[in-house]
């Protein structure tokens, strides 16, 4: 089961009630969670890839990419559900009373709703990139066959109000940042053959081939570019509530300043799925475990058709201004 000290690192600012956050883990245990993530590396179209000659005590490139895709699917589900749930989106800090994600009321904040919409589109783009690196259909139609969860489980009250949603979102974005920081380190270690990581890594997108050193270096660069966006998401989420210097607390979190870190944190992670320290509780798989193991409040991942356009929750003006692609290799 997840350790209290690790959750303290994940739920930054004590934004989540630890008991509710741990519900999934305490009911189903860490083993099932880790197994669920690892199986995503061996199911569906990934079955035909060449075995990776890496040490058993380290993650593989396929492990990292699959864990990241699971995290992005969770992020998509989180943003999409918030934008589509009346109890969250009608908060005065978002679309306001009577408003929706695509029709913000006069009492709401078009800017804050646009942030959530932009974040949703960015997470969709990240997932598409990861699918292409894994050799999966970018529209998500092959995700289930590859072991990517099609349902996630949220703490009680997550989508009952903005005050319930925001701490969960901040904790998740903090975990995503830590996961991508760890991915950068692990891809770099693979490229260098350092700390037990093998530079011989199967290419999930091309059966029978291995990734080159240049590929691994590029993947580290791609992971860092996504990390930067997730860090923006964390700060922007902290800027949603209308707090003041005199009253900076919302949902038990001090939100001033929204950009409150000198340096981003790896959240104490020592691996994405396999920990180099041998402590399985300090992996990204463990951190996301309560959202993956069957528990209360299941939310289905948006359908492939919905993920193709998100027209029901994203304004055309926002979609037209969200752009950019993965960085090019040097």
Residue 325 lies in a domain: no
Nearest to 80, CA basis, from 144, 140, 21, 147: 140
Residue 329 lies in a domain: no
Chain-wide mean pLDDT for the chain?
A: 85
Question: What are φ and ψ of residue 98, in 5° steps?
Answer: 80, -5
Domain with 267, as residue range(s), is 4-319
13-44 pLDDT, tens digit each: 333 333 333 333 322 233 333 444 444 444 33
Query: Of 77, 178, 69, whose CA–CA distance to 134 is shortest?
Result: 69
pLDDT at 329: 84
- Answer yes or no: is 315 within a domain: yes
Three-state DSSP at 109 gives coil
Residue 117 lies in a domain: yes
Between CA 96 and CA 113 the distance in angstroms is 10
Q: pLDDT tier at 293 (50, 70, 90 boundaries)?
A: confident
CA atoms within 13 A of residue 94's CA, in its CB half-sphere: 28
- Residue 157 resides in a domain: yes
76 in a domain, yes or no?
A: yes
| pLDDT confidence of residue 56 | 58
What is the spatial distance between Cα 48 and Cα 40, in angstroms, rounded to a whole number? 13
Domain count, the chain: 1
Q: Confirm whether 231 is domain-assigned.
A: yes
pLDDT at 126: 97
Q: How far is CA 138 from CA 60, 116, 133, in A?
A: 21, 22, 10
- R_g of the chain computed on alpha carbons: 19
| Domain-located, residue 57 | yes
For 124-155, how does the pLDDT look when each residue is reduced to its tens digit (9 = 90+)? 999 999 999 999 999 899 999 999 999 999 99
Q: List, for residues 153-200, the tens digit of each pLDDT value.
A: 999 999 999 999 999 999 999 999 999 999 999 999 999 999 999 999
Asked if the model's pLDDT at residue 243 lies above 60, the reply is yes
């Amino acid at each position: 089961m997840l350790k209290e000290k690790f959750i303290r690192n994940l739920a930054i600012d004590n934004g989540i009630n630890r008991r509710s956050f741990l519900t999934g883990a305490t009911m189903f245990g860490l083993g099932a969670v880790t197994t669920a993530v690892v199986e995503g590396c061996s199911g569906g179209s990934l079955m035909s890839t060449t075995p990776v000659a890496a040490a058993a005590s380290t993650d593989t490139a396929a492990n990292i990419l699959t864990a990241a895709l699971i995290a992005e699917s969770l992020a998509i589900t989180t943003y999409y559900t918030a934008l589509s749930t009346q109890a969250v989106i009608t908060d005065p800090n978002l679309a306001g009373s009577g408003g929706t994600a695509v029709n913000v009321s006069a009492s709401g904040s078009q800017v804050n709703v646009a942030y959530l919409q932009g974040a949703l589109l960015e997470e969709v783009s990240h997932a598409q990139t990861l699918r292409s690196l894994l050799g999966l259909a970018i529209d998500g139609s092959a995700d289930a066959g590859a072991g990517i969860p099609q349902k996630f489980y949220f703490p009680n009250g997550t989508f009952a109000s903005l005050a319930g949603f925001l701490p969960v979102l901040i904790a998740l974005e903090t975990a995503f940042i830590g996961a991508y920081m760890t991915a950068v380190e692990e891809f770099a270690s693979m490229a260098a053959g350092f700390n037990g990581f093998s530079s011989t890594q199967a290419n999930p997108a091309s059966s029978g081939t291995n990734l080159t050193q240049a590929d691994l270096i590029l993947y580290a660069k791609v992971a860092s570019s996504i990390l930067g966006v997730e860090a923006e998401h964390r700060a922007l989420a902290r800027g949603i509530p209308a707090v003041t210097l005199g009253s900076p607390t919302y949902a038990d979190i001090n939100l001033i300043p929204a950009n409150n870190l000198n340096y981003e944190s790896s959240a104490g992670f020592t691996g994405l799925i396999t920990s180099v320290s041998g402590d399985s509780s300090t992996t990204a798989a463990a951190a996301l475990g309560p959202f993956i193991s069957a528990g209360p409040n299941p939310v289905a991942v948006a359908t492939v058709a919905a993920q193709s356009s998100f027209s029901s929750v994203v304004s055309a003006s926002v979609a037209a201004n969200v752009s950019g692609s993965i960085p090019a290799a040097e």
